[in-house]
Amino acid sequence: MAENRKSPSGQGEKNNRRDFLNILLSGGFVAWFTSLLFPVFKYLEPPEIEEVKVTSVKIGAVEEMEKDSGKIIKFGNKPVIVVRNPTGEFVAFSAVCTHLDCIVQYKKEYGQIYCACHNGRFDLSGRNVSGPPPFPLKKYGVTIKEKEVIVFEEAS
Ligand code: FES
């Protein structure tokens, strides 16, 4: 009997079985380990959140905003500056300065939109008129419906 096990053909068959079992156990281990890691990675992966596309925002009644004043509103996740000029007309622009992305404000004493970061200035048509800003501000549309001021994104 002992001679049979040591025979070259018996040894080869034993090795084949051992190799087969090794492959089977390795595959089982990989499958088991993957089944442990999969829920962990699924848990860590942030959920997909659809961004809501905002096309217009109501900012309040016309009388709520004084002439010669400005305010920053949220247009989706973007800041927009709405200015009511001294004659009572509304204009709106992106409130992000075109120089280094600071938030601009309306300066009554200059009658302009002002960026405090580097003294940049824009006129009430959004043009860069002074300081380092290289481009005009992005323009938004403003309309009044039933005494309600509505800011909307203009088609580009
Ligand atoms: S960031 Fe506005 S002037 Fe520099």
The token duo for 40 is 């962990």
Is the residue at 108 inside a domain? Answer: yes
| Residue 25 domain flag | yes
Domain that holds residue 134: 56-152
Backbone angles phi, psi at 31, to 5 degrees: -65, -45
Asked whether residue 62 falls in the same domain as residue 137, the answer is yes
pTM, two decimals, is 0.71
| Per-residue CA distances from 30 to 18, 23, 39, 82 (Å) | 18, 10, 15, 60
The answer to whether residues 105 and 126 belong to one domain is yes
113 part of a folded domain = yes
Q: Measuring from atom 1 of ligand 1, which residue has the nearest CA?
A: 100
Convert the pLDDT of each residue in 46-86 to its tens digit: 888 887 789 999 999 999 999 999 999 999 999 999 999 99
- Kindly state if the Cβ of 97 falls inside 6 Å of ligand 1: yes
The CATH number given to whatever domain includes residue 64 is 2.102.10.10
126 lines ligand 1 (CB under 6 A): no
- Does 71 share its domain with 116? yes
Which of 94, 100, 121 for a ligand 1 pocket mutation test, highest count of atoms within 8 Å of Cβ?
A: 100
Q: Examine the domain organization and report whether 82 and 128 are in the same domain.
A: yes
In a shared domain, residues 145 and 73: yes
Domains contained in the chain, number: 2
Q: Which tokens sit at 111? A: 């009658």
Whether residue 49 lies inside any domain: the answer is no
In a domain, 19, yes or no: yes
Same domain for 125 and 98: yes
Within a domain: 50: no
Q: pLDDT tens, 113-151? A: 999 999 999 999 999 999 999 999 999 999 999 999 999
